A and B are shown apart, each in its own frame.
Chain A
Amino acid sequence: MRIGVVTFPGSLDDVDAARAVRLAGGEVVPLWHADADLPAVDAVVLPGGFSYGDYLRAGAIAARQPLMRAVVDRAHAGMPVLGICNGFQVLCEAGLLPGALTRNGHLHFRNRDQALLVERADTAWTSSYAQGQTIVVPVKNGEGRYVGSDADLDRLEGEGRVVVRYAGGNPNGSSRDIAGVTSADGRVVGLMPHPEHAVEELTGPSVDGLGFFTSVLEGVLS
């Protein structure tokens, strides 16, 4: 299965996302932000980093790059898209996911091993997990505080679109401990924590993150 990993200027975890895809058994297709055409891929990962230095707003400039138009079109047609950290910010800026990511409440960058509660185990990116499962993956961000109006958050929760929630402490002040959300069709997922940093026992706090990548491969295969 061919999984595209996009590199924007300032993307940092593109190498890590590609490694995670490979370890899960997928074929990596490197994608360049300035290309207008999206080659034949089965899914796309928008990696973490500081695209365009987080200037203007985190993810705002990346969301308007040529390749993103094609990604948005294909996502509307049902292609699975995963946005990690800066990728989540890009998805919100591109209008594929609701809400916004703002400066952490305490104004500090925060890198720690974070427990997450999986609330949706039926999206394109979380089907390898069990609903209610707790996983540990690194979180690392300076602008990861998920916010939305109370009405929007009520609606999101009502529709069951919170995919993962922070457990055992909220690292950045996100509303209602929300760590990741999904689109209405469950094909697009964005989260601030980094599953691609928890795919090898040697380098991560766990291998709990691998499930995001095996999920989409199994989904595409079936």
Chain B
Amino acid sequence: MIDTVSHAGETPDEEQPYRELGLRDEEYLRIRDILGRRPTTAELAMYSVMWSEHCSYKSSKVHLRTFGDLPRSEALLVGMGENAGVVDVGDGYAVTFKVESHNHPSYVEPYQGAATGVGGIVRDILTMGARPVAVMDSLRFGRADAPDTARVLPGVVAGVGGYGNCLGLPNIGGEILFDDCYAGNPLVNALCVGVMKHEDVRLAKAEGVGNKVVLFGARTGGDGIGGVSVLASETFDEHGPAKRPSVQVGDPFTEKLLIEACLEIFAADLVTGIQDLGGAGLSCATSELAAAGSGGMRIDLETVPLRDSTLTAAEILMSESQERMCAIVEPAKVEEFLAVCAKWDVLATVIGEVTDGDRLLIDWHGERIVDVPPRTVAHDGPVYERPYHRPADLDDLQADLPPTASADLRADWLAVVGSPDGCDKSWVTEQYDRYVQGNTVLAQPEDAGLVRIDETTHRGIALALDGNARFARLDPYTGAQLNLAEAYRNVAVSGAVPLAVTNCLNFGSPEEPEVMWQFAEAVRGLADGCRALGLPVTGGNVSLYNQTGDVAINPTPVIGVLGVHDDVRTRVRGGWRAAGETVLLLGETRPEFGGSAWAGVVHGHLGGLPPRVDLDAERALAGLLAHLAADGAVTSAHDLADGGLAQALTESALRYGTGATVRVVGDTTAALFAESVARAVVTTTDPAAVRAAAEAAGVPVTELGTTGGDALVVEGVLELPLAELRSTWTRTLPDLFGHPEDVVGAVPTGAVPTS
């Protein structure tokens, strides 16, 4: 029997399974209070997914408001609260970008979890009216040699590649790091960036009484039911039921058709509002569209095309089946809208209409099963001021100072660059298409990705994602700023000017006061950092409950910075191409080892304080790098971050097989391995010009040496033949996860007969 609104009114005492749906007692009582009766089964389903941590940001909201207090940026066209923020990048172009987590699904089912993570963020970007032009990803796994990492990593990488490659989106960079703390909780943060003209920006809004609600894309199935509530908003429990059915299954081919159909629909101006179906599916799309408009909405739920005819109304409302969108279309334009969908073989169905009044009404075969004020579902969820306090162990951790002197610089160098975090990532990145669309100017292993957005003016956009969690563990306020600074610097070394910030904040359970403190500190740090750099936060994503049992992950604020490049032909690459060029170090090195890669890899140490943040120095360095790029004054640039100078020199030398002889003065361990901020290595054929520009910018310059030869030589300290260095740097991931090319040799030729 169907649980209708009138039936709910008549049976106030019926027991409802709200706890199983992830709702707390007080939240359930609040729903009863809003409706003046018990919710129907369908209403309960909607509230449960929309009031989940993942959708409602109920624990994080009070802190995230800080971002809204940042000074208004002229570049910001659409701010937080929409599907993604939009910034002006000049020449009438607007860019929208966002990073989103798909952590829990990727642990349960690595391939589909990661694949649908990419699919979801791409739809967010598409919804804004933009053509998606590139993706990036930030990944975290448990120890590289842990057995479960061998299960999770290959699946996640194949999923990111499998979905993105099939959509025709170049993967232009990202990061992949390993730490024990992610053993039961890998992180998959996917970023997408899209480009449009200013006038093409679309918003998720249901306006105009009588306008039709059109659901288009894939059919609705039973996958991903409760994905946002029972999966993404709870801690994994060893003894709980298998959560695999809560993971969505992706079909990138359908998404590709959806992209092309949407762009044609936008170009013909056929929609008044549009929303993608992601977390919380139809519950989210209908309530958000209706809440953002001035009227109400009525849906005939039985008209939703299904993959599985046995689904109940509540399941249809909760399903997170992928590759679906919801549009508001004027009646006169419905026919043309459906024709565009038909051209692209995209299923499209009118499922309801915009009404006057202020209720979201959903009928199931003529019977009313939902009658709610849409705002109460979409926006008026609970807001918690969770208690928080500084972790009890933090004083001890910060007092546990790192070692400061290397006993064997050569061995330490090889250990750092050959560690899973420092090593060559080709094993991963060769599985991603970086060429498609033909506009990729820079991609991994460059510090930032750079994409041309106009072939005539050569305008482009640069992107970098950074999220060092070791720093954030030692001090989340500083850690968030260090990640912001690194992404900012990475964008700057390409010659681009940093313009805007997005973020994906991955933390443990907000119900633990110590985790909540880490979160609050990271948000405060990021907001202060953005204020100092003059950058707006355009949006972001929060992923909580990243813990298994009592063990939370290290706080992992992943920060994305977008930059604009006036002329991508002047981009600066990492890597040395020619001998006889002068190697210069920009910036100042201090003996800072807290949270460094060297302390971690060589000494298994995490303690002390992270490097001191200096955002004025970052600004000066970024300004200098943009100036040097525009003048063509440098032949390469590489930022210094994890692994310090040793890591940067290694990557620069191995890129094109050009060595160098350098000398360092003072404390050698600090010179090679310290992770002081606001530094970069550049090469030039005109050192005097670089020196003059640096002096004018107030950036310290140290001459390190000259490129050339087939070894990296630190005079009087060590000599590393490039062959040895390359072997150490490249073999780590293949040794751990397999040597694919060896398998090829075993494939028998002529195995398949042909005509």
Which residues on A are within 8 Å of B, measured CB to CB? Answer: 9-10, 12-13, 15-16, 19, 48-50, 52-55, 95, 98-100, 102, 104-112, 138, 140, 142, 145, 147-150, 152-153, 169-170, 172-173, 175-176, 194, 196-197, 199-200, 202-204
Could you tell me the distance in whole angstroms from the C-beta of A84 to the nearest C-beta in chain B? Answer: 12
Query: 3 tightest A-B contacts by CB?
Result: A53-B253, A12-B168, A106-B740
The answer to whether A99 touches B754 (Cβ under 8 A) is: yes
Could you tell me the distance in whole angstroms from the C-beta of A56 to the nearest C-beta in chain B? Answer: 12
Q: State in angstroms the CA–CA spacing of A105 and B569 once bound together.
A: 38
The answer to whether B165 touches A197 (Cβ under 8 A) is: no
Residue on B with the closest CB to A48? Answer: B436
Complex contacts, A145 vs chain B, CB 8 Å? 747
Complex contacts, A9 vs chain B, CB 8 Å? 253, 256-257, 344-345
The answer to whether B441 touches A202 (Cβ under 8 A) is: yes
Which of B253, B432, B741 contacts A106, CB < 8 Å? B741
Q: State in angstroms the CA–CA spacing of A153 and B257 once bound together.
A: 37
Residue on B with the closest CB to A106? Answer: B740
Q: A98-B755, A147-B751, A173-B744 are in contact. Are A53 and B434 (CB under 8 A)?
A: no
Instruction: Provide a sorted-by-A list of 10 A–B residue pairs whose CB atoms are within 8 angstroms.
Output: A13-B168, A15-B438, A52-B253, A106-B744, A107-B740, A109-B158, A111-B434, A148-B752, A202-B569, A204-B435
Q: A111-B430, A111-B432 are in contact. Are A105 and B747 (CB under 8 A)?
A: yes
Q: A106-B740, A170-B744 are in contact. Are A197 and B435 (CB under 8 A)?
A: yes
Complex contacts, B434 vs chain A, CB 8 Å? 111
Q: State in angstroms the CA–CA spacing of A138 and B430 once bound together.
A: 11
The answer to whether B569 touches A110 (Cβ under 8 A) is: no
The answer to whether B257 touches A169 (Cβ under 8 A) is: no
Could you tell me the distance in whole angstroms from the C-beta of A34 to the nearest C-beta in chain B? Answer: 8
Which of B257, B437, B441, B755 contacts A10, CB < 8 Å? B257
A sample of 20 more A-B contacts (CB under 8 A), given A106-B744, A108-B431, is: A9-B253, A9-B256, A10-B253, A10-B256, A13-B168, A15-B437, A48-B436, A50-B252, A52-B253, A53-B251, A105-B744, A107-B740, A108-B158, A138-B435, A147-B750, A152-B754, A172-B744, A173-B747, A175-B749, A197-B435
Could you tell me the distance in whole angstroms from the C-beta of A182 to the nearest C-beta in chain B? Answer: 16
Complex contacts, A16 vs chain B, CB 8 Å? 435-438
The answer to whether B166 touches A10 (Cβ under 8 A) is: yes
Complex contacts, A111 vs chain B, CB 8 Å? 429-435
> B575 at interface (Cβ–Cβ under 8 A)?
no
Could you tell me the distance in whole angstroms from the C-beta of B365 to the nearest C-beta in chain A? Answer: 34
Q: State in angstroms the CA–CA spacing of A105 and B742 once bound together.
A: 10
> B439 at interface (Cβ–Cβ under 8 A)?
yes
The answer to whether B754 touches A98 (Cβ under 8 A) is: yes
Could you tell me the distance in whole angstroms from the C-beta of A112 to the nearest C-beta in chain B? Answer: 6
Of listed A102, A104, A111, A147, residue having the most chain B CB within 10 A: A111
Q: State in angstroms the CA–CA spacing of A203 and B194 once bound together.
A: 19
The answer to whether A203 touches B431 (Cβ under 8 A) is: no
> B560 at interface (Cβ–Cβ under 8 A)?
no
8 Å CB contacts to A: which residues of B98-134? none
Q: State in angstroms the CA–CA spacing of A189 and B203 once bound together.
A: 46
Could you tell me the distance in whole angstroms from the C-beta of A200 to the nearest C-beta in chain B? Answer: 8
Residue on B with the closest CB to A7? Answer: B260
Could you tell me the distance in whole angstroms from the C-beta of B122 to the nearest C-beta in chain A? Answer: 14
The answer to whether B741 touches A203 (Cβ under 8 A) is: no
Q: State in angstroms the CA–CA spacing of A160 and B2 once bound together.
A: 71
Number of interface residues of B (CB under 8 A): 46
Could you tell me the distance in whole angstroms from the C-beta of B341 to the nearest C-beta in chain A? Answer: 12
Complex contacts, A10 vs chain B, CB 8 Å? 166, 253, 256-257
Complex contacts, A152 vs chain B, CB 8 Å? 753-755
Q: State in angstroms the CA–CA spacing of A16 and B430 once bound together.
A: 20
Residue on B with the closest CB to A148? Answer: B754
Q: State in angstroms the CA–CA spacing of A155 and B628 once bound together.
A: 58
Q: A53-B166, A145-B747, A196-B438 are in contact. Are A202 and B253 (CB under 8 A)?
A: no
Taken residue by residue from 227 to 238, chain B's Cβ proximity to chain A (1 for < 8 Å, 0 otherwise) reads as 000000000000
Q: A53-B253, A142-B165 are in contact. Are A175 and B438 (CB under 8 A)?
A: no
Q: Count A-B pairs with CB separation below 8 Å.
A: 138
Which of A12, A106, A110, A142 contacts B436, CB < 8 Å? A12
Residue on A with the closest CB to B752? Answer: A147
Q: State in angstroms the CA–CA spacing of A95 and B437 once bound together.
A: 28
Could you tell me the distance in whole angstroms from the C-beta of A48 to the nearest C-beta in chain B? Answer: 8
> B440 at interface (Cβ–Cβ under 8 A)?
yes
The answer to whether A150 touches B750 (Cβ under 8 A) is: yes
Which of A48, A112, A203 contacts B452, CB < 8 Å? A203
Q: State in angstroms the CA–CA spacing of A49 and B257 once bound together.
A: 13
8 Å CB contacts to A: which residues of B560-585? 568-569
Q: State in angstroms the CA–CA spacing of A111 and B751 once bound together.
A: 24
Complex contacts, B557 vs chain A, CB 8 Å? none
Complex contacts, A194 vs chain B, CB 8 Å? 435
Complex contacts, B257 vs chain A, CB 8 Å? 9-10
Q: State in angstroms the CA–CA spacing of A99 and B161 once bound together.
A: 27
Could you tell me the distance in whole angstroms from the C-beta of A209 to the nearest C-beta in chain B? Answer: 11
Taken residue by residue from 130 to 171, chain B's Cβ proximity to chain A (1 for < 8 Å, 0 otherwise) reads as 000000000000000000000000000010011001111000
The answer to whether B438 touches A203 (Cβ under 8 A) is: yes
The answer to whether B435 touches A202 (Cβ under 8 A) is: no
> B332 at interface (Cβ–Cβ under 8 A)?
no
Residue on A with the closest CB to B738? Answer: A106
Residue on A with the closest CB to B251? Answer: A53
Residue on A with the closest CB to B455? Answer: A19
The answer to whether B740 touches A108 (Cβ under 8 A) is: yes
The answer to whether A100 touches B752 (Cβ under 8 A) is: yes
The answer to whether A109 touches B162 (Cβ under 8 A) is: yes
Could you tell me the distance in whole angstroms from the C-beta of A195 to the nearest C-beta in chain B? Answer: 11
Q: State in angstroms the CA–CA spacing of A147 and B754 once bound together.
A: 8
> B743 at interface (Cβ–Cβ under 8 A)?
yes
Q: State in angstroms the CA–CA spacing of A95 and B257 once bound together.
A: 27
The answer to whether B431 touches A55 (Cβ under 8 A) is: no
Q: State in angstroms the CA–CA spacing of A48 and B437 once bound together.
A: 11
The answer to whether B741 touches A169 (Cβ under 8 A) is: yes
Q: State in angstroms the CA–CA spacing of A53 and B440 once bound together.
A: 23
Which of A50, A54, A55, A150 contacts B749, CB < 8 Å? A150
Could you tell me the distance in whole angstroms from the C-beta of A188 to the nearest C-beta in chain B? Answer: 15
The answer to whether B743 touches A106 (Cβ under 8 A) is: yes
The answer to whether B437 touches A176 (Cβ under 8 A) is: no
Complex contacts, A107 vs chain B, CB 8 Å? 740, 743
Residue on A with the closest CB to B432? Answer: A111
Q: State in angstroms the CA–CA spacing of A110 and B158 once bound together.
A: 11
Residue on A with the closest CB to B749? Answer: A175
Q: State in angstroms the CA–CA spacing of A167 and B310 once bound together.
A: 55
Which of A53, A110, A200, A203 contacts B252, CB < 8 Å? A53
Residue on A with the closest CB to B166? Answer: A50
Complex contacts, B751 vs chain A, CB 8 Å? 147
Of listed A105, A138, A150, residue having the most chain B CB within 10 A: A105
Q: State in angstroms the CA–CA spacing of A109 and B755 once bound together.
A: 27
Taken residue by residue from 717 to 754, chain B's Cβ proximity to chain A (1 for < 8 Å, 0 otherwise) reads as 00000000000000000000000110111110111111
The answer to whether B438 touches A19 (Cβ under 8 A) is: yes
Could you tell me the distance in whole angstroms from the C-beta of B261 to the nearest C-beta in chain A? Answer: 10
Of listed A95, A100, A149, residue having the most chain B CB within 10 A: A149
Residue on A with the closest CB to B427? Answer: A108
The answer to whether B253 touches A149 (Cβ under 8 A) is: no
Residue on B with the closest CB to A101? Answer: B752
The answer to whether A102 touches B436 (Cβ under 8 A) is: no
Residue on A with the closest CB to B431? Answer: A109
The answer to whether A102 touches B435 (Cβ under 8 A) is: no
Complex contacts, B440 vs chain A, CB 8 Å? 203
Which of A105, A140, A149 contacts B435, CB < 8 Å? A140
Complex contacts, A169 vs chain B, CB 8 Å? 741
Q: State in angstroms the CA–CA spacing of A75 and B440 once bound together.
A: 33
Could you tell me the distance in whole angstroms from the C-beta of A208 to the nearest C-beta in chain B? Answer: 14
Q: A10-B166, A176-B749 are in contact. Are A105 and B743 (CB under 8 A)?
A: yes
Q: State in angstroms the CA–CA spacing of A137 and B593 once bound together.
A: 43
Complex contacts, A142 vs chain B, CB 8 Å? 162, 165
Q: State in angstroms the CA–CA spacing of A100 and B755 once bound together.
A: 10
The answer to whether A110 touches B431 (Cβ under 8 A) is: yes
Could you tell me the distance in whole angstroms from the C-beta of A38 to the nearest C-beta in chain B? Answer: 19
